[in-house]
Structure 1
C-alpha cells in the first residue's frame, strides 16, 4: 500500500511539473517616480514572485509592498504609510497573458512579446499593455519588461507640498529568470 501511495505522489508531482509552469521567487522590480533636479525617488524589490504557464501563456506576479527598499529610510516610511498604505494594501498583483507566446520559439536572442493584463494596487485594478523581451538561457527563461503607471489611476495622492518633487507618472521595470 505504501508503494502505491509513493508511486501515486511521484506521478502526481510529475503531472504538476508537466503543466508547464515556470517560476521565479527572486524577480526584481524597480520603480522610479523621480523628477529632474530633485532627490531620486526610486525603490527596488528583489523578492517578487513571477509565474508563467508556458502552455497557456498566462503570467502572474506578486510583489509585497513593504519589500521595496529606498536609499533614504524616510522615503520608505512615507511610501509605506502615506502613499501605498502597505498595512491596508500589502501587495501588488499582476495577472495577464503574453500574446503569441510559444516557449519553444525562445532562443538566446531576446524576442519581443506583448503582455496584456491588469495590475491590482492600492485597491484599484488598471489595465496594462507592455512590451516584454524574453530569451532562453542555461539558467532559465529571461523576462524583461518596462512600463509606466500613473499614481492617480490607483487613487494614490501626492501631497501638494511634494507635488513638484514626486512624479505622478511612475516607471516600472521588471527583470526575472524563470525556472
Structure 2
C-alpha cells in the first residue's frame, strides 16, 4: 500500500510538472537614463518566472536588492532612498498570455498580448504589453519590453536629481523557462 501511495504521488507530481515551465535565472533590465546625464541602468539576473503551459498564466518574482548598477553609490541610493528595498523587498508580476497555445510555439518568435499586475514598492498597477515567445530546444524563451512611471508606484524622485532621472522607466525581461 505504501509503495502504491508513493507511485500515485510520483505520477501526479510528474503530470503536474509537465504543465509548468520555470526558471530562477531570468533577467530584468531597467533603464531610467536621460540624455547628457549619467546612465541609470540596472540588471537583475536572479529573477524567478513560471508559466502554466495549459492556461498561459505567468508569474515572476524579483528581489529588489538583486539589481546591480555600474556605480555602487547609485545602487545604494536606489535601495535606500527610492525603492526602499528593506521595506519592499520584492517586485512581482502576475498575468496571463492572451490566446496562449503551447502547440503554436516553434523556433520562430510568436507575439502574445500579456495582461497582468505589476507590484513594486507596495503598489500594484495593471500592465499590458507584448510578450514574444519561442521554443529553444525543450525550453521556452519569453521576452517583453514595457514602460512604467515611478510616480504610479509612489516612488519619489528628489527634486535635486529629478532632471537626471527619466519620468518613464523602460523595463526589459528575458526568461528561458525549462
TM-score, length-scaled by structure 2: 0.97
Q: Give the Å deviation of 1:168.
A: 2.0
In 2, distance between residues paired with 1:127 and 1:5?
43
In the other structure, the counterpart of 2:4 is 4
C-alpha separation in 1, matches of 2:138 and 2:94: 24
Alpha-carbon separation, structure 2, partners of 1:13 and 1:97: 23
Distance apart, 1:6 and its partner CA: 2.8
Instruction: Give distance in 2, aligned partners of 1:5 and 1:23.
Output: 27
Displacement after TM superposition at 1:75 (Å): 0.5
Structure 2 residue ranges without an equivalent (≥5): none
Instruction: Describe the superposition over 1:62-102 as per-residue Cα deviations: whole angstroms up to 9, x where unpaired.
Output: 00000000000000000000000000000001000101110
Cα deviation, residue 10, structure 1: 1.6
Runs of 4+ off more than 3 Å: none
Match of 2:129 in 1: 130
Q: Distance in 1 between matches of 2:162 and 2:136?
A: 43
Q: In structure 1, how many angstroms separate the alpha carbons of the residues matched to 2:131 and 2:5?
A: 42
In structure 1, the partner of 2:88 is 89
What SS class does the counterpart of residue 160 from structure 1 fall into? coil
| Structure 1 residues without counterparts, runs of 5 or longer | none
Is residue 77 of structure 2 the alignment partner of residue 46 of structure 1? Answer: no
The alpha carbon displacement at 1:3 in A equals 2.0
Cα distance between partner residues in 1 of 2:28 and 2:38: 20
Paired residue secondary structure (1:115): strand
Q: Secondary structure at the match of 2:151?
A: helix
> What is the aligned residue count?
178
CA separation in 1, counterparts of 2:2 and 2:98? 45
Query: CA–CA distance in 2 between the matches of 1:15 and 1:102?
Result: 18
> Structure 2 matches for 1:78-157, cutoff 5 A?
78-157=77-156
Measure the CA separation in 1 of the matches of 2:173 and 2:42. Answer: 12
1:15 aligns with: 15
Superposition deviation, residue 139 in structure 1: 4.8
Could you say what secondary structure the match of 1:159 adopts?
coil
CA contact (8 A) 1:29 1:174 kept: yes
Alignment partners' CA distance in 2, 1:80 and 1:59: 26
Q: After alignment, is 150-159 or 134-143 more displaced?
A: 134-143
